[in-house]
Amino acid sequence: MSEFRIHHDVNELLSLLRVQGGDGAEVYIDLLQKNRTPYVTTTVSAHSAKVKIAEFSRTPEDFLKKYDELKSKNTRNLDPLVYLLSKLTEDRETLQYLQQNAKERAELAAAAAASSTPSFGAPAAASKISMQELEELRKQLGSVATGPTVQQSLELTRKMLRDKQNKKNSGQRLPVFPAWVYERPTLVGDFLTGSGLSTDTAVPIGSLPLASQESAVVEDLLYVLVGVDGRYITAQPLAGRQSRTFLLDPSLDLSIRELVNRVLPVAASYSTVTRFIEEKSSFEYGQVNHALAAAMRTLVKEHLVLVTQLEQLQRQGLLSLQKLWFYVQPATRTMHILASIASSVDKGECVGGSTLSLLHDRSVNYTGDSQAQELCLYLTKAASVPYFEILEKWIYRGTINDPYSEFMVEEHQLRKEKIQEDYNDRYWEQRYTVVPPRIPAFLQKMAAKVLSTGKYLNVVRECGHHVTCPVAKEVIYTLKERAYVEQIEKAFNYASKVLLDFLMEGQELLAHLRSIKRYFLMDQGDFFVHFMDLTEEELKKPVDDIAPPRLEALLELALRMSTANTDPFKDDLRIELMPHDLITQLLRVLAIETKQEKAMVHADPTELALSGLEAFSFDYVVKWPLSLIINRKALTRYQMLFRHLFYCKHVERRLCGVWLSNKAAKQHSPHSAQGCAGAFTLRQRMLNFVQNIQCYMMFEVLEPTWHVLEKNLRSASNIDDVLGHHTSFLDTCLKDCMLTNPELLRVFSKLMSVCVMFTNCMQRFTQSMKLDGELGRPALEHGTMLGPPTEVERAEERTRKERARKHLAEHADTPQLAASFEATISKFDASFSAHLLDLLARLSVYSTSDCEHGMASVISRLDFNGFYAERLERLSAERSQKVAPQMPAPRGAPTPAPRVAVTAQ
């Protein structure tokens, strides 16, 4: 049982018990997970648990009767429930709490019912009916209950099954019997109650001699054994699905009555089996029940042959009542087993796989009785033929022909194109699913392989390739499960190999994954240099002002100018401008299938206007059947990794640009550059941080994990293994790149924002240094060594100085910026250091408490000389001294660093 399932069940139980407050569901979930056993205990102790509950119960007969009824219906998880109840009987404290809780809930329900129930006036005393009217009403109700009610319930059941099957087979109407088949009772080989032969009885049988009584009773028994009322033995009307009972002439001799009562159960069983055969022969009950009814009809024909032979002896005067019992006695056991199976199938409303499970359990239970087991095996083999025909088509061809919804695998109408569009689409999981109630007990262990085998072949068939399993053989039911288990294993191995070869070789899955890695994981260095050079100005614009066709054209140019031109799948690469920034996208993905999902979906795309750099991402066109592996969920994870890496690369380029502009500015104003040592040091620290983070993600996370993925894909044996390895690769990359932890990502995003704001500030300061240099440069008349300047040179100098004066006039605060430059740089330094210390503290916690050992490598890269470790220790010591007089600080939690509100430019 999954953790989500345990969490759901615990919460539901608490809500049913109306438990409020306390420790909450988390404590109970932890206890359940710690006390789970790796093996099943209920199958061993179910019998002893049943006995224990019966001893504890005030009405053990009712409990055992209810248990047998549920068992006959093949109820799932019945034994685990009984085992749990037996454990509750030993816990007095829990029993007392449950009794008190039940009493309180009953009082609340009664109070609610009393408040919502309208008041009615009591009937007048004069409205009482007489005893005669009451007796007539009872007779009318009895006739209605025994008459058309059974037929109405059967008709209602058939209608429900018919509607369900027609809904599934929307394009094809299933056949039905005409109404007159059910309206003519004489077509059924069962008793016609109310029109028996007993009406012409003139002489009570007790007035006849014993020999005459025996002869008359033998004749009546021969009639009763084939479903016809006799003169002195008549069938009673049925009430619901009860067993048939008979009424004997009360004047019959006691010795003869005793022998007659021994024979009558055969007639009752015959009546049950006949009704079952007629009912289950309707189209609505499915092919398995049709086959079972046909097998029973064959056995009933043998019973009729036996009665015919007995009738021949009776006409010759050679059949006494004792001989009749002697000849009928062997058939008693057979008819009883058939009637028992028919009743169990009726009670459980079994169809398809559930019918086969019931028959299989009967066959196993009759292990000590060879004749009974042989009979059940005959019925199970006959009933399993249509089921195994559906199974063979599924595991050998990948097709399902199941018009009556009997097979364990159910097909759902889903579009495979949606797998490329919807992140939450589960085409592979939901196109074909296993329906647990339809799984036969003898195929329970192989259900997953049966599902996978047909799914593999179905994928290849939908691609236009005809597949037929070369090891196909007829599947026949046997108690030795190994026979058909081997067939399913062979079909599974063939289907796995066919689909895997088709994807890996025919569709070049590994080559497509390498192509995605080249672009989304920045494996193609020269391509990104060309691309970022070409699109730098375009991506600085707000996202609403960017023309996607222009970006597509620049992408095409960058692909053709770099070594990516050799990639055969480069035309599948597309550009996408996302409506959210990376953190919002991550939170939306993490909120899927949680309570916050609805709020995240209906939230505004973003409160801030995104730039092209923040919204930019790649997309990739994937066609069927590769979309099974590279689906929208996988592409979204690739996009989150790409946006993370791409923004880091952008910040690195900005910092490198600051370095270049600083070098150029020194030439214009060397005296001003002397006071920029602090800014240059901070720039280098930022550059060191960004480059080390990129180096960690590229060479310690992505590359090693990719090599593991390639190795696993080459050794994979089926497509589910490929899906698992690919998903594990993406999950590992996201986790180690700090993209699954919103707290780390927020701190990291703030660090990147501080770096971007610092680069903007440095660019403005560098520009002012250049302007100062321009204005302070001596005139050409005094500074040239090549003689007097020309008119063109003088005009250029005047234009340059005029532009500098104009820029200074527009930015009147430039002197103040220069004057407070050192203070500004110190603020950036403090903000960057605070966020970096916060990040290192959080990484330290996650690397120790959460066993994320990969995070330790980031710490060693960013704090290679222990500089930040000393500052963290000093900061922690100072804070502990301040907090000590008030309250002790919790151990192990990261100390929150001061936050600086920053936004990316």
Contacts (Cβ under 8 Å, ≥6 apart) of 481: 442
List residues bridging with 322 in a β-sheet: none
Total residue count of the chain as it appears in this document: 905
Residue 497 vs residues 469, 625, 715: alpha-carbon distances, Å: 11, 15, 12
- Residues of the chain falling short of pLDDT 50: 38-44, 117-127, 143-148, 195-199, 201, 593-607, 779-784, 808-819, 886-905
**pLDDT tens digits for 216-236?**
888 988 998 888 888 888 888
Instruction: Decide: 419 and 458 in contact? Cβ < 8 Å.
Output: no
Instruction: Decide: 277 and 346 in contact? Cβ < 8 Å.
Output: no
Pairing of strands 409-411, 432-434: antiparallel
How many Cβ atoms from other residues are within 10 Å of residue 180's Cβ?
A: 8
Report the largest interatomic distance among the alpha carbons of the chain, rounded to a whole angstrom: 161
pLDDT in the model for residue 674:
53
pLDDT in the model for residue 124:
42
How many Cβ atoms from other residues are within 10 Å of residue 520's Cβ?
A: 23
C-alpha 690/C-alpha 657 separation (Å) is: 14
pLDDT in the model for residue 833:
82
Q: Which two tokens stand for residue 646?
A: 């791409």
C-alpha 559/C-alpha 151 separation (Å) is: 75
pLDDT in the model for residue 305:
93
pLDDT in the model for residue 419:
52
Q: Which two tokens stand for residue 784?
A: 């040239």
pLDDT in the model for residue 296:
92
Q: Which two tokens stand for residue 405?
A: 């919804």
pTM, 2 dp? 0.67
C-alpha 825/C-alpha 21 separation (Å) is: 52
Contacts (Cβ under 8 Å, ≥6 apart) of 171: none
Radius of gyration of the chain (CA): 42
DSSP code for 505: I
Nearest to 629 by CA among 707, 724, 717: 724
Residue 888 vs residues 881, 882, 884, 885: alpha-carbon distances, Å: 10, 10, 6, 8
Q: Which two tokens stand for residue 593?
A: 């299938």
C-alpha 524/C-alpha 509 separation (Å) is: 19
End-to-end Cα spacing for the chain: 48
pLDDT in the model for residue 873:
62
SS3 278: helix
**pLDDT tens digits for 420-462?**
555 555 677 778 888 888 888 888 888 888 998 888 888 888 8
